[in-house]
């Protein structure tokens, strides 16, 4: 058989091409209601940029020719003002670092309460709802902990508090950007379980951005695999992970035995990833791809449907699972 995982890229491919860098390029996918979409890729793959594009934080000129549809509306041409409005209401975010979202000088309960008030909850209801939310996200003794400041919480508890803040606005779409990366493994698993149960109970749509395939495998119904600012592959998570239709996905899966066995430890993916600033011509993955041939070095593959609901941007997608 062929050699998976990946060899490193050749040096020549690391030179920066001239001209402006398109950080995310033609990225298109849907986030259906009541569904978790996992966005996966190595650092520099454009996954965080894509999440930022949704909430209007994408720097000028980094643009994309793609589409991010939410409730039938393409968010990219929607304009920054519209996205900001959505961000306050329909869309909530949770980050890797809860301290970026929490106000250090305000008690946790008060912060959650303020969002509820802004969302138009009657005053009389706010206190009860704050305690309900803290309880829902697994903060013990909500009555007492509501009076604590963020620094009095552990890392895991802060993450829970941030999730309570996000839920307080009753969003329909939750963007979670590496929500568990800073946590130790046990706490990480608990937070992921919490996110999954909240997503299901509330019927939320969730976009989960992660570099960790195990996190995505655990939580996401659909997966979007990004490489160098483009979508390499997307489809239902079990199908993508068991029969990848892109050599990059295949290498990712093979580099994390725990995805299959849940026992072995993860090995980092070998080789340096291409980034949007150092994107090789043709297929950006070709310097690391065991299936690469001449066509791959010159012709950029377009995403195409390779099975119902499965999309791959590989010229030779059909060969991946047989290699």
Name the residues that contact ligand SF4, by CB under 6 A.
246-247, 283, 285-286, 289, 291-292, 296, 301, 314-316
> Closer CB to ligand SF4, residue 109 or residue 287?
287
**Smallest separation (angstroms) from ligand SF4 to the CB of 62:** 23
**Smallest separation (angstroms) from ligand SF4 to the CB of 298:** 11
> Closer CB to ligand SF4, residue 17 or residue 203?
17
Give 7's DSSP letter. P
Angle at which helices 108-118 and 155-168 cross, to 10°:
20
Q: What would the two tokens of residue 316 be?
A: 């030779």
Integer Cα distance of 211 and 164 in angstroms? 24
Start-to-end CA span in the chain (Å): 6
> Closer CB to ligand SF4, residue 199 or residue 312?
312
Query: From residue 230, how far is each of 63, 88, 279, 295, 312 by CA, in Å?
Result: 12, 28, 10, 18, 11
> Tokens 């939410």 sit at which residue?
70
**Smallest separation (angstroms) from ligand SF4 to the CB of 17:** 17
φ, ψ dihedrals at 68, nearest 5°: -125, 100
3-state SS of 159-196 is HHHHHHHHHHCCCCEEEEECCCCCCCHHHHHHHHHHHH
> Closer CB to ligand SF4, residue 29 or residue 248?
248
**Smallest separation (angstroms) from ligand SF4 to the CB of 224:** 16
> Tokens 């290498």 sit at which residue?
251
> Closer CB to ligand SF4, residue 218 or residue 286?
286
**Smallest separation (angstroms) from ligand SF4 to the CB of 187:** 36
**Smallest separation (angstroms) from ligand SF4 to the CB of 251:** 10
β partners of residue 307: 310
Q: What would the two tokens of residue 302 be?
A: 């377009």
Is the distance from CB of 199 to CB of 174 less than 8 angstroms? yes
**Smallest separation (angstroms) from ligand SF4 to the CB of 244:** 11
> Closer CB to ligand SF4, residue 12 or residue 81?
12
> Closer CB to ligand SF4, residue 115 or residue 314?
314
Give 233's DSSP letter. E
């Amino acid at each position: 058989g062929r050699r998976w995982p990946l060899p490193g890229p050749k040096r020549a491919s690391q030179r920066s091409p001239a001209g402006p860098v398109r950080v995310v390029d033609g990225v298109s996918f849907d986030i259906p209601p009541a569904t978790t979409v996992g966005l996966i890729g190595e650092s520099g793959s454009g996954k965080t940029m894509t999440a930022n594009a949704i909430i209007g934080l994408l720097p000028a000129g980094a643009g994309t020719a793609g589409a991010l549809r939410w409730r039938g509306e393409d968010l990219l041409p929607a304009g920054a003002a519209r996205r900001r409005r959505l961000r306050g209401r329909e869309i909530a975010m949770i980050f890797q670092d809860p301290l970026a979202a929490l106000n250090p000088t305000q008690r946790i309960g008060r912060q959650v309460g303020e969002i509820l008030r802004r969302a138009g909850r009657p005053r009389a209801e706010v206190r009860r709802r704050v305690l309900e939310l803290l309880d829902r996200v697994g903060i013990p003794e909500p009555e007492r902990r509501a009076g604590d400041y963020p620094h009095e919480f552990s890392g895991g508890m802060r993450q829970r508090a941030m999730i309570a803040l996000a839920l307080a606005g009753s969003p329909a779409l939750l963007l979670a950007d590496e929500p568990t990366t800073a946590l130790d493994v046990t706490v990480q698993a608990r937070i992921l379980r919490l996110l999954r149960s909240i997503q299901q109970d509330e019927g939320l749509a969730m976009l989960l951005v992660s570099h960790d395939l195990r996190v995505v495998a655990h939580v996401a119904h659909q997966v979007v695999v990004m490489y160098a600012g483009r979508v390499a592959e997307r489809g239902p998570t079990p199908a993508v992970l068991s029969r990848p239709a892109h050599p990059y996905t295949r290498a990712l899966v093979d580099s994390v035995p725990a995805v299959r066995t849940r026992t072995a430890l993860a090995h980092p993916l070998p080789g340096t990833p291409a980034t949007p600033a150092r994107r090789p011509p043709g297929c950006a993955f070709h310097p690391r791809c065991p299936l690469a041939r001449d066509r791959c070095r010159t012709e950029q593959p377009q995403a195409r449907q390779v099975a119902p609901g499965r999309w791959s941007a590989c010229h030779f997608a059909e060969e991946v699972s047989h290699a």
